[in-house]
Homo-oligomer: A and B are copies of this chain.
Amino acid sequence: MSQATMTEREPLNGVNVPTLFATIDAVKENRELAKFQFRATNKWESGTHSRSTIKSYSGAGGDHEHVREFMVDADHPQVLVGDDKAPLPVELVLAGLASCLTSGIGNIASARGVELYSVESTIEGEIDVQGILGLNDEVRNGYQEIRIDFKIEGNAPQEKLEEIVMQSRARSAVFDVITNQVPVQVTVNKG
């Protein structure tokens, strides 16, 4: 990075750009800081309704707590035999993907000195519930396809704004989780 670029490293779009670069530099010096573990606990409430609680995580060489405990409820709507008290788990996944890409857009635009005016997206996923209902073994349980479309405005040409979206895709944790497989181990505690 040239000195000229350095002078652009000031807070932008609500992103503390100096802290962002300092974080990258710190991890570059000590790769162990990059190891994070995220967690949630979940408690069944009734029917298809459950509540996840998110508080602690570890990373950057230590244990941390969010500034407050976050609760994320999920349920099924009536048409899928629930009480519709909260979004579906598969809708939380869509929110996770859209927000991960959008966080990345916020960081990347700021690092590149682009002021964002607005970032909006719509995300859709197709599911054939024959899978989860056990009616057809050839139909997968999850989404068959997900599409997300961004509308982004800022003080840069459209081409540069599109590059920021695509760079966010290239570095998105949730995009990777969904488009590549992650091993998941399910166990039952014998108490």
A residues neighboring B (CB under 8 Å): 13-16, 19-20, 23-24, 27-28, 31, 34-50, 52, 54, 57, 59-60, 64, 66-67, 70, 72-77, 79-84, 86-107, 110, 116, 118-136, 139-153, 158, 161-162, 165-166, 169, 171-191
Contacts of A86 in B (CB 8 A): 70
Cβ A92 vs Cβ B90 within 8 A:
no
Contacts of A140 in B (CB 8 A): 176, 180
Which are the 10 A-B pairs with shortest beta-carbon distances?
Answer: A14-B46, A14-B47, A142-B176, A74-B99, A89-B100, A44-B119, A52-B95, A42-B98, A92-B96, A142-B177
Contacts of A107 in B (CB 8 A): 48, 81
Cβ A133 vs Cβ B23 within 8 A:
yes
Alpha-carbon gap, A49 to B181, bound state (A): 26
Residue of B39, B96, B179 near A122 (CB, 8 A) is B39
Cβ A141 vs Cβ B171 within 8 A:
yes
Alpha-carbon gap, A129 to B149, bound state (A): 26
A97 CB to closest chain B CB, in angstroms? 7
A125 CB to closest chain B CB, in angstroms? 5
- A89-B174 contact in complex given A77-B66, A165-B188, A181-B180, C-beta closer than 8 Å: yes
Alpha-carbon gap, A31 to B136, bound state (A): 10
Contacts of A172 in B (CB 8 A): 132, 141-142
Cβ B179 vs Cβ A38 within 8 A:
no
Cβ B142 vs Cβ A173 within 8 A:
yes
What are 7 pairs between A and B in contact, CB < 8 Å?
A15-B81, A19-B81, A23-B133, A143-B173, A145-B185, A169-B186, A178-B182
Alpha-carbon gap, A88 to B103, bound state (A): 9
